[in-house]
Amino acid sequence: MEDDQEAGGEEYLFKVVLIGDSAVGKSNLLSRFARNEFDQHSKATIGVEFQTQAVEIDGKEIKAQIWDTAGQERFRAVTSAYYRGAVGALIVYDISRKTTFESVKRWIDELTTHCDTTVARMLVGNKCDLENIRDVSVEEGKEFAEQEGLFFMETSALDSTNVQTAFEIVIREIYNNVSRKILNSDSYKAELTVNRVSLVKNGNDKQSHLSCCSR
C-alpha cells in the first residue's frame, strides 16, 4: 500500500454497505459479485462480514470493501462501526415479500442517521427471478427510488441478473462524487487521502473516518 502511494499510483478503497431485512439475499448478492457464486444453502449472517472486490473504472483500479450485515434489527447496536466511513450503500429488499420493501424507509433513515447524505445509494429489488410470486411491482420500486433520490435496479443473485451492474453503478457514482470533490477542493482530497489510507493503515485516527461522513 505504502509503496503504491510513494510510486504516485492513485489508489481507491471505497467502503460500501449492504443493508435490508433478513433473508432478502444480501450475502448472496455479495458472493455473486465478489466470487460469482451463489449458495442455495447459505446461512444467516451473524454480526458483520465483509469482502473486498476490485473493479476497473475509467482505467483505474478501484477496490470496493463491501460490508454485509445481519438483517435482524437487534444487530443494529453494532452499526456505528458498520456505517463508519461508508461512501456507498445498497438497500436491498425481496420482490416476493412486500414487508421487506416496506422496511426500506427505515433502512434509509438508519443510513441517513449514521452517514453523510452524499453516500451513493441504490435501491435493489432482489430475487427478480421469482416473477411468479412477485409481491412488489417494478413500478413501485422505481417510484419509491425516484422519490428518495436513489438509483434503482432489480437483480437476481441466483441467475446473476444485474448484480455486477448494480455494484458498478454505485462504485462509479462514488468515484464521480470523489472526483468532483477533488476538483472542488484540495483540502477534501487531502482529507480523503487520509481517510483512504486510514482504512488500511492508520485506523486509530478515528477523526479521519468521521471527516468523510460528518460535513
Partner 1 sequence: MALYFTKKASTAELDAYYPIRPECQDSVPKTRFKLRAGKTLSARRWHAAFSEDGHLDIESVLRRIQKGGVHPSIKGVVLEFLLGCFDPDSTFEERNTLRQRRREQYETWKAECQKMVPVIGTGKFISSPIITDDGHPIEDTANCNVRDGGVMSASSQDSEKKVIQWKLLLHQIGLDVLRTDRSLVFYESESNQAKLWTVLSIYAWVDTDIGYVQGMNDICSPMIILLENESDAFWCFECAMRRLRDNFRCSANSMGVQTQLGTLAQIVRAINPKLHQHLEEMDGGEYLFAFRMLMVLFRREFSFVDSLYLWEMMWAMEYNPKIFSTYEETADATYPSAAPKLNDKLLKQCGKFEKNNVKSGSGGPLAVFLVASVLETKNKQLLKEAKGLDDVIKIIGDTTGNLDAKKACTEALRIHKKYMNKAHKS
Amino acid type, 194 = V
Residue 202: CB minimum distance to partner 1, A: 7
Number of Cα atoms under 13 Å in the Cβ half of residue 152: 17
* Subset of residues 115 to 174 that bind partner 1, contact rule: CB under 8 A: 133, 135
Report the 10 Å Cβ neighbour count for 103.
Answer: 20
Instruction: State how beta strands 151-154 and 12-19 pair.
Output: unpaired
How far apart are CB 180 and partner 1 at their closest, in Å?
26
Size of site (CB under 8 A) for partner 1? 41
Stretch that binds partner 1, among 136-144, 153-161, 168-176, 202-210 (CB under 8 A): 202-210
Q: Does 35 bind partner 1 (CB under 8 A)?
A: no
User: Rounded to whole angstroms, what are the CA distances from 164 to 45, 49, 111, 211?
Assistant: 21, 19, 23, 29
Q: Is 41 helix (H, G, I), strand (E, B) or coil?
A: coil
Cβ 92 to partner 1 shortest distance, Å: 14
What phi and psi values does residue 64 have, to the nearest 5 degrees?
-110, 120
1 touching partner 1, by CB under 8 A:
yes
Angle of helix 186-200 relative to helix 163-184, nearest 10 degrees, comes to: 130
- Choose which of 19, 70, 123, 194 interacts with partner 1 (CB under 8 A): 70
Regarding 199 and contact with partner 1 (CB under 8 A), the answer is: yes
**74: buried, middle or exposed (CB in 10 Å: 19+, 13-18, 0-12)?**
exposed
Q: Which span (72-80, 113-121, 141-149, 177-185) binds partner 1, by CB under 8 A?
A: 72-80
Burial class from Cβ neighbours inside 10 Å (0-12, 13-18, 19+) for residue 67 reads: buried
Among 31, 96, 161, 211, binds partner 1 (CB under 8 A): 96
Least Å distance, CB 46 to partner 1, is: 4
Among 39, 56, 146, 186, binds partner 1 (CB under 8 A): 39
Decide if residue 9 touches partner 1 (CB under 8 A): no
Is 52 among the residues that bind partner 1 (CB under 8 A)? yes
Residues near partner 1 (CB under 8 A) are 1, 22-23, 39-52, 65, 70-72, 74-75, 77-78, 80-81, 96-99, 133, 135, 198-204, 209
